[in-house]
Structure 1
Amino acid sequence: MKNEMMSYEKIAYEYLLASEYTKATDLYEKAISSNPDNLSHYWYLGLTLLLQGKEAEAQMTWMLAIAEIEDEKTPFYTAKLIEVLQIEAERQEHIEEFSTSWLIRQHIREINPDDINNLLNVLQLSIKLNNFDETHFNDWGIIELLNSQEIIDLNLKLLTQVLQQVLDTIPLHPYSLNLVEACLPYFTNPQQAFNILLPAAIKIGHTFKQPQLAAQILELYLRIEPEEVETLRHLAIFYQNSQNYELGIEKAKLCYSLSKNVADKIFALHLILRGLMTAGGYWQEICSTSQELESILQEFIQAQPLPLDEVRTLRLLTPSFAIPHIKDTPTEFRKIHNQIAQIFQNNIQAVFPEAAERYTQRIIKHPGSITSTKPLKIGYISYALRKHSVGWLARWLFQHHNRDKFEISAYFVNYKLVDDFLQTYYVNQACHAHKLEMNALEIAEQIHADEIDILVDLDSITLDITTEVMALKPAPIQVTWLGWDASGIPAIDYFIADPYVLPESAQEYYTEKIWRLPQTYIAVDGFEVGIPTLRRDELNIPSDAVIYLSAQRGYKRHPETTRWQMKIIKEVPNSYFLIKGDAEEEAIKQFFYQIAEEEGVDISRLRFLPQDPTEATHRANLAIADVVLDTYPYNGATTTLETLWMGIPLVTRVGEQFAARNSYTMMMNVGVTEGIAWKDAEYIEWGVRLGKDAVLRQQVAGKLRQSRQTAPLWNGKQFTLEMEKAYQQMWEIYKK
């Protein structure tokens, strides 16, 4: 009889493993008939019924068996039942029958709702099966159990996997932050938590544009490591991006105080400047921090610290972004910047020597494989081919490209997993669209594999990953266009300009060859314009008043330019000044109020406007202005184009650097010179004249309206032909 029972069990289990559940059920029923006291038969019988989809019968089988057990023995036998179900759940997961495993684990949960390891497995399976919703966190009580700190035999590896999976797949879920907080006390190794939380925060903050949530995650990590510098760096950025400038500046200063080497100090100073300048108004501190940054950059150049690791190298170029906002001294600035760019390239190529060597080998080979009948392969690399200034402006080039002569590839760095119609537009316009992560070597390898002939960088130093790709030189010809001033990286061959945006002497301090297009370095066919939401009466401005406007973010607010603007307001009776742009509200108000009072302007003539909900609405609202006052030493670019498109007179101060000549070249390319100032006093004179002379304003507005049909600035098709001609000439030079 005993041997017969053993035979039943063995054969029945083999049937179970073979998914022949009906046969297994029959044998387990026979085993129970032969030996009703062996409770394991009931456990397996219920399991086979469950695997056949007979949940009610399975539960009844287990409940009837448990009901016959003496109370003191119930926990023991219940544990045995859970063990049977656990083994089968793991087997089902192994054969990737996740739905079945999820079902089994739900029954384990009903038997023992406090089994944290089972609950973590259920959560993991729910995410995998895409059937998870926020009620599960409450119903299952996972967070409450973790917070109780009374868990025995917690599977730490499983906990880590689940946290990683939650942050990978549902990072924006309302309970994800609660899960992070509940898990942290169980990490015995802070580095393990760091390796999970920092990448997740970066994805949440940058890719999903939720910097406040990203900051909350990193603040939780600081409970473990309150002086972890890398965490503080990102935390400073996330606070600044979420417009919590005070905390963003505070964290940046803490980074600086904890930084030990020169490279780290450079980036920490950049973070401080980033916060101060984005907030706007902290001019005295901006100047002192900028001086300190330049001093440390010089110290770094003299030390020539080679080699640096990849992360520190990536942070070398971005700090240069701040300096042109503060002063217009390109000869001095680019001398320092170009040396940093050379160090940057040397370090990057030292990090990836094999890749750099392979790319070089392609470049030095004779390029005869490209014949005149084969399209040139043009690659555009950028993180900004989306709702961004670059995204708004580059689309006409993509639209008008001759697909018979040029094969267009687009490399989307940190492709955004968000709804963005401009991003979708670029994906559809490119012959080959590569949606990439933030891995420079992978991007460079893709460009190299695609055998791109001319690689066009649209980011310059505004994104470190793009600069890293360009430093590796995966294409034989590399060009910077549109996104910012030239990066200074020696691996870049050309910088696209025009007759106006750089002075003739500029080549003396650029490492790239300045390639001047015949008319303009940028052209658009126009802009979408929405419905205006601004009214004079709602702003308490008289209908006959003269309205000046400046719509720039805090970064571009320079006290000297603001002083000129206040002098204009003072000189023009019945005039008002509208101020708009991202900044810390109170700081920027105090910045303007102080200068207004110093210049004798009643602050009641100033109006601070909120940001508009869309770009189209912003453009429509520009029409409320009679005159737009540009910033200096960093002009508007997209904002200038929008102003001119809307037919509004503009006053700009022309400088020496690229950033100080954007508005100048755009005005020249619409045929309007009224408002172009070459000296500080001329800026004030033009502002006053345009404010007082309504006829002159109308004449300028008329010129701007007429320019829509004739001006190079509004001819994207002609501009594309000129860019394509430049590409062909670059290629001919390369082939020689």
Structure 2
Amino acid sequence: MLIMVTDLINWKTQAEQYLSEGNYTSAAYLYEQAIIAEPYVTPYYWYLGLILLLQGQETEAQMTWMLPMAEVDEEEIGKLTNELLQVLEAEAIQREKLEEFSLAWVIRQHIREINPTDINNLIKIITLSIKINNFQGDNLIELCLIEYLNTSRNYNSLYDDLKNLIQEVVKEAPLHFATFNLLEASLPYFSSSSVSDCLDIFLPAAMRIGHTLKCPELATKILELILRLDSDNIESLRALAIFYQDSQKYDIGIKISKKCYSISHELPDKIFAIHLLLRGLMSAGGYWEEVCNACQELELLFKQLICLQPIEISEIQTLRLLTPFFAIPHIKDNPVQFKSTNNQVAKIFQASIQKFAGEYLNCYSQLNKNKSFGYSHRKLKVGYLSYALRQHSVGWLARWLIQHHDKEQFETYIYFVDYKQINDWLQEWYVSQVTHPHKLGMSAWDIAEKICNDEIDILIDLDSLTLDVTSEVIALKPAPLQATWLGWDASGIPTVDYFIADPYVLPYTAQDYYTEKIWRLPNTYIAVDGFEVGIPTLRRDELNIPSDAVVYLSAQRGYKRNPETTRWQMKIINEVANSYFLIKGSGEEEAIKNFFYKIADEEGVDCSRLKFLQQDPLESTHRANLSIADVVLDTYPYNGATTTLETLWMGIPLVTRVGEQFAARNSYTMMINAGITEGIAWTDEEYIEWGIRLGKDANLRQQVAWKLRQSRHTAPLWNAKQFTREMEKAYQQMWQIYVEGR
């Protein structure tokens, strides 16, 4: 039956209801009848085509839309097209409100076919693609969005939708090249609307890309975009200095660090700027005079900070107070002076963090008060907190403790700070080893709350002061007992109860200047069952080294290159005929070479006897390549740690200088716990003497190598299961002391 004009209102209402209910067949029937009754009313065709489109009949929909346009002039076609676009746009908006995103996406794709240059529509297509998990970075190119953004001047009308889109795209495809192009194309839109919005979006994106996703080069490009709008934005400059350094563009990173210092006015900001400068200079290696001057300035600023207490410090300034201490032990071995300053600043740090914590702190304290009970009837809950449980020195060494834990007596938790969203098999190994792995971000409050809710008994900090977020968590005291182990020296934060050491890694007078109770394990503070070793790729003939030559090696970061130690090493090379020195480690190549060449020249060593090696792509290859060396020469006042263990595992004699601080005694305790004393030097002169003696005496080298091979079967250093039992006993004793109120 044909619909009469008098029924127009009623049938339209019915058709709209059918359409909203998804009863497309009935809605289509009504519009078909309307077209028969009034074939010249064009909106009927638009809605009938829309209904066909929603039923998946795209060809039929397009044919329906074309019918009214078949015999009209060009001007009329433009008018009809705009009518159709309005109908489709209204329906797309309605579907978006109903959260029917797939249907909205289909409708907008047809809007694009009709009007491919509608930027608002393109933005919404990509936004919908993300919502329906159908987005790829290539979509930005295929839809020509970036091209249109670069030519459009409708900054204000596009701004809100574009801003929302960028936030979603940087989450979904942060590393795709088109994402950066999108950020760059959007810059004029932020410039005309809100520079602060640009900072709020671009800076977190750069931090995630640079830190979490390990792409510092891309992070620097994004930060440079911010500086186009605000050339003196201090937060962007600080991050830019770090990421240029991480990209091994040390000269630019150092230059930006100096600019940060010049525009910093408050004392905490100056401290952090000096830290950035030291980070660049020491990573590059070879800038010793500048390093010493900057370190002197840093110590002076710390003293000023202590003297000026109490002063107001913001939360972000507080977070940056402790990490600058990392540089100082690389420069000098004076733990009494160092710990005195470190402990006082750590106390300021904790007080400030707890002030900002407010009610959070009360919550943790109340829960911990309720935990004074024994553990004999239940498992002890031990949590490990770190950003480094991945392919990192801490990750390589801590795994044996996690693997050998007694699951009948201990319930283990891992709190991954800034969980790396990259392919890292060791990180995934840790995830698989514990019942409760928590993949967390960079919010100390969230991490502390998770630890608190898990009711952890003992929290083990593996980062110490090398990461500000970890230090903040520790200062919040989310667990009743907290201890520092492995990652670095003690942090000095008063909420830490114990620092886990052994009889050798700290002198017995150390308790006089440590705020933490030093808990000494009976043998060693670290043990491993071994290392994966690959196929060596280094050959003497390829390095132009004779087969009968004595090869010395030093494999350390630029941070640890000290001119005094390097001078000892040159004296050794000079005294041992037919000897060569292999130098390996990250740093600025020319600066490192100039550093070594200068000292070699002063000591009369031909620079052709120095060979500079590239970093190996795999840790297993690096360990295999250690076997090219006859003797490894350690650094001082900051020894090797993982590198020392790897050297000893490969059976290679090592020369180390023992100092007073933790960083200057790592190699000492490892050698003792491997059963050798040959190569342990207590003075500068002894270091040189051992280096010469091991170079000249092949029999002595063979004896040391034999002892190291035998030690694999007997020494505490290679018995991780025994070490784990000793750690577990320590945990039980710590907890017993706690519950007894001692």
TM-score by length of structure 2 reads 0.98
Name the counterpart of 2:343.
Answer: 338
CA distance in 2, matches of 1:320, 1:44: 70
- Tell me how far 1:153 sits from its aligned partner: 6.6
Name the counterpart of 2:164.
Answer: 161
Amino acid at match of 1:436: L
Amino acid at match of 2:162: L
1:523-672 equivalences under 5 Å are: 523-672=527-676
Provide the secondary structure at the position in 1 that maps to 2:232.
coil
Name the counterpart of 1:506.
Answer: 510
Name the counterpart of 1:732.
Answer: 736
Q: Alignment partner for residue 716 of structure 1, among 717, 720, 727?
A: 720
- Tell me how far 1:92 sits from its aligned partner: 2.0
- Tell me how far 1:134 sits from its aligned partner: 4.5
CA distance in 2, matches of 1:457, 1:272: 27
Q: Pick closer, same or farther for the CA change 1:480–1:513 going to 2, 3 Å.
A: same
Deviations 1:169-205 (A, max 9, x none): 1101110000000111111111101111111111111
Q: Pick closer, same or farther for the CA change 1:684–1:104 going to 2, 3 Å.
A: same
- Tell me how far 1:152 sits from its aligned partner: 7.3
Name the counterpart of 2:304.
Answer: 299
Tell me the matched-pair count. 735
- Tell me how far 1:77 sits from its aligned partner: 2.5
1:122-137 equivalences under 5 Å are: 122-137=125-140
- Tell me how far 1:429 sits from its aligned partner: 1.1
Deviations 1:581-615 (A, max 9, x none): 11011111111111111111110001110010100
Deviations 1:449-481 (A, max 9, x none): 111111000000111111000001111110000
Name the counterpart of 2:687.
Answer: 683
Q: Does residue 214 of structure 2 align to residue 209 of structure 1?
A: yes
Provide the secondary structure at the position in 1 that maps to 2:177.
coil
Provide the secondary structure at the position in 1 that maps to 2:469.
helix
CA distance in 2, matches of 1:557, 1:418: 31
Q: Which moved more, 1:476-485 or 1:252-261?
A: 252-261
CA distance in 2, matches of 1:327, 1:127: 53
Q: Does residue 154 of structure 2 align to residue 151 of structure 1?
A: yes
Deviations 1:144-175 (A, max 9, x none): 11111333773321101100000011101110
Q: Which moved more, 1:573-582 or 1:302-311?
A: 302-311
CA distance in 1, matches of 2:318, 2:273: 14
- Decide whether the 8 Å contact of 2:554 with 2:584 is kept in 1: yes
- Tell me how far 1:363 sits from its aligned partner: 3.1
- Decide whether the 8 Å contact of 1:124 with 1:165 is kept in 2: yes
Provide the secondary structure at the position in 2 that maps to 1:415.
coil
Aligned-CA RMSD value: 1.2
Name the counterpart of 1:222.
Answer: 227
CA distance in 2, matches of 1:446, 1:140: 43
- Decide whether the 8 Å contact of 2:264 with 2:273 is kept in 1: yes
Amino acid at match of 2:321: L
CA distance in 2, matches of 1:731, 1:131: 52
Q: Alignment partner for residue 277 of structure 1, among 282, 287, 292?
A: 282
Q: Which moved more, 1:48-57 or 1:351-360?
A: 351-360
CA distance in 2, matches of 1:404, 1:605: 56
Q: Alignment partner for residue 120 of structure 2, among 109, 117, 121?
A: 117
Provide the secondary structure at the position in 2 that maps to 1:155.
helix
Q: Does residue 366 of structure 2 align to residue 361 of structure 1?
A: yes
Deviations 1:29-71 (A, max 9, x none): 1111222222111110110010111100101111222334432
Name the counterpart of 2:70.
Answer: 67
Deviations 1:333-353 (A, max 9, x none): 111111110000000000112
Provide the secondary structure at the position in 2 that maps to 1:549.
strand
- Tell me how far 1:100 sits from its aligned partner: 1.6
Deviations 1:68-93 (A, max 9, x none): 44322333322221111112112222
Q: Does residue 499 of structure 2 align to residue 490 of structure 1?
A: no
Provide the secondary structure at the position in 2 that maps to 1:373.
coil
- Decide whether the 8 Å contact of 2:137 with 2:179 is kept in 1: no
Q: Alignment partner for residue 328 of structure 1, among 330, 333, 336?
A: 333
CA distance in 1, matches of 2:427, 2:553: 30
- Tell me how far 1:358 sits from its aligned partner: 2.1
Amino acid at match of 1:267: F
CA distance in 2, matches of 1:68, 1:150: 36
1:429-444 equivalences under 5 Å are: 429-444=433-448
- Decide whether the 8 Å contact of 1:523 with 1:713 is kept in 2: yes
CA distance in 1, matches of 2:110, 2:314: 51
Q: Alignment partner for residue 260 of structure 1, among 261, 265, 268?
A: 265
- Decide whether the 8 Å contact of 2:156 with 2:189 is kept in 1: no
Provide the secondary structure at the position in 2 that maps to 1:520.
coil
Deviations 1:642-696 (A, max 9, x none): 0000000000000000000000000010111110010001100000000000000
Q: Alignment partner for residue 354 of structure 2, among 349, 354, 359?
A: 349
- Decide whether the 8 Å contact of 1:279 with 1:554 is kept in 2: yes
Provide the secondary structure at the position in 2 that maps to 1:672.
coil
- Decide whether the 8 Å contact of 1:576 with 1:606 is kept in 2: yes
Q: Pick closer, same or farther for the CA change 1:591–1:40 going to 2, 3 Å.
A: same
Q: Alignment partner for residue 14 of structure 1, among 9, 14, 17?
A: 17
- Decide whether the 8 Å contact of 1:145 with 1:151 is kept in 2: no
CA distance in 2, matches of 1:263, 1:653: 35
Q: Which moved more, 1:276-285 or 1:65-74?
A: 65-74
Provide the secondary structure at the position in 2 that maps to 1:495.
strand
1:403-418 equivalences under 5 Å are: 403-418=407-422
Amino acid at match of 1:484: W
Amino acid at match of 1:208: L
Provide the secondary structure at the position in 2 that maps to 1:175.
helix
Deviations 1:316-340 (A, max 9, x none): 0000000000100111111111111
CA distance in 2, matches of 1:347, 1:150: 47
Deviations 1:116-148 (A, max 9, x none): 000001111222333334543333211111111
Amino acid at match of 1:415: Y
CA distance in 1, matches of 2:491, 2:505: 16
- Decide whether the 8 Å contact of 1:307 with 1:350 is kept in 2: no
Question: Which ranges in structure 2 are unaligned for 5 or more consecutive residues?
Answer: none
CA distance in 2, matches of 1:261, 1:703: 56
- Tell me how far 1:366 sits from its aligned partner: 5.9
Amino acid at match of 1:270: H
- Decide whether the 8 Å contact of 2:558 with 2:592 is kept in 1: yes
CA distance in 1, matches of 2:311, 2:91: 57
Identity %: 64
Provide the secondary structure at the position in 2 that maps to 1:171.
coil
CA distance in 2, matches of 1:467, 1:137: 41
Q: Pick closer, same or farther for the CA change 1:450–1:135 going to 2, 3 Å.
A: closer
Deviations 1:254-301 (A, max 9, x none): 111111100000001000000000000011100001101111111111
- Tell me how far 1:26 sits from its aligned partner: 1.1
- Decide whether the 8 Å contact of 1:378 with 1:406 is kept in 2: yes
Q: Does residue 299 of structure 2 align to residue 288 of structure 1?
A: no
Question: Which ranges in structure 1 are unaligned for 5 or more consecutive residues?
Answer: none
Q: Alignment partner for residue 58 of structure 1, among 56, 61, 64?
A: 61
- Decide whether the 8 Å contact of 1:116 with 1:154 is kept in 2: no
CA distance in 2, matches of 1:291, 1:378: 40
CA distance in 2, matches of 1:135, 1:480: 46
